[in-house]
Amino acid sequence: MENQELDLVKVQSEVTKATRLSVTKKELEDMVAISSKITVPDLTNKSQVAIAKEARLKLRKVEIDIEKQGKGYRDIFTAVNKAILADEKELKAITSPEIERIEKIEEEARKIEIVLERTAQLPFRHEQLSVIDDGVEVTDAELLEMDSQSFTDYKNSRIAQKLEDDRTALEEAQAKVRAEAERQERENATREREEIARKEEQELSIKRLEIEKQNAELRIQQEKADADRRVKEAEERAKQEAKEKEDRIQQEKIMKEAKEQEEKEKLESKKKYQDWLTKNDYDEATHYLRNENGIITLYKAISTFKI
């Protein structure tokens, strides 16, 4: 293998020499040095511009030759690379299936080794879990699926859950004790209140009897006073009604007399009004009347003119 690597280094050196471009860096630098001396003071001078163009085209021709030569070499290496890749693929097609087969054997061996290691740890794992005393059952198959980290995480989660369950159970027990103490306290307080209420009810019953007796006496006195008041009010209403009747009769008489007097005055006024019209030779065709605040004025039309 070492001799092969030395041969490859030698091949690389020889290929590098063989593919060196024909033009050298020094030749190009000399050509550019000559071209850099060309100037065009007058850009309107076509002969000067033509000289500069000719130098550019010469340099570009050299570039094109370099590109063609480089592409030719690259095409050779591309073809060589393709051939090498094809050989590599063909050769690996022989070894790869066998490598994969052996890898599967190694993988199965590792799995068996892991199972044997975990099987040997089963009693120890069961013992660690039984110490938790949380009543959770776990099978050997489930434990065999766990690596060391998974088992540690599983054990820690059960320990944490057991601690949480114990804490919850303790809090519930303490809550029950507190609830029972509070219930007893409420019952004692209720009995005390009921006893106080019973005594107060007895005292209130005695007071209510006394108050009812006093109220009965007051009702008798009130009823007698109400009866006397009703008699007095009846007498007052009779007097008031008699007075109102007398006043009504008197008022009706006054209104009747006033109405008769008003009608009499209307008749007299109407007769005077007619006499006044007659006295002034009233004629509806030539006279007209105007009433201002109860004073009637008679006007006569003298003449009319149509415009």
Structure confidence by residue, pLDDT tens digits, 204-227:
888 888 888 888 888 888 888 888
Provide mean pLDDT across the span 41-53: 85
Contact yes or no for 300/284 (Cβ under 8 A): no
Taking the C-alpha atoms of residue 147 and residue 153, their distance in angstroms, rounded to an integer, is 10
1 three-state secondary structure: coil
DSSP 281: T
Contact yes or no for 134/160 (Cβ under 8 A): no
The reported pLDDT for the residue numbered 302 is 77
Q: Tell me the whole-structure pTM to 2 decimals.
A: 0.36
Q: At CB < 8 A and 24+ separation, what contacts does 193-201 make?
A: none
Provide mean pLDDT across the span 166-189: 90
Label residue 160 by pLDDT band (50, 70, 90): very high
Position 17 pLDDT exceeds 60: no
Structure confidence by residue, pLDDT tens digits, 249-279:
888 888 877 776 676 666 557 778 788 888 8
The reported pLDDT for the residue numbered 237 is 85
The reported pLDDT for the residue numbered 46 is 86
The reported pLDDT for the residue numbered 6 is 46
Position 156 pLDDT exceeds 70: yes
The reported pLDDT for the residue numbered 11 is 60
* Residues sharing a CB contact under 8 Å with residue 126, sequence separation 6 or more, in sequence order: 143
Where exactly are the structural domains of the chain?
15-108, 167-235
Token representation of residue 160:
């944490």
Taking each helix axis from N to C end, the angle separating 148-279 and 46-132, rounded to the nearest 10 degrees, works out to 100
Label residue 2 by pLDDT band (50, 70, 90): very low
Distance between terminal CA atoms of the chain?
150
Token representation of residue 168:
């919850």
Average pLDDT, the chain: 82
Contact yes or no for 128/152 (Cβ under 8 A): no
Cα 218–chain centre separation: 71
The reported pLDDT for the residue numbered 1 is 47
Position 84 pLDDT exceeds 80: yes
The reported pLDDT for the residue numbered 149 is 92
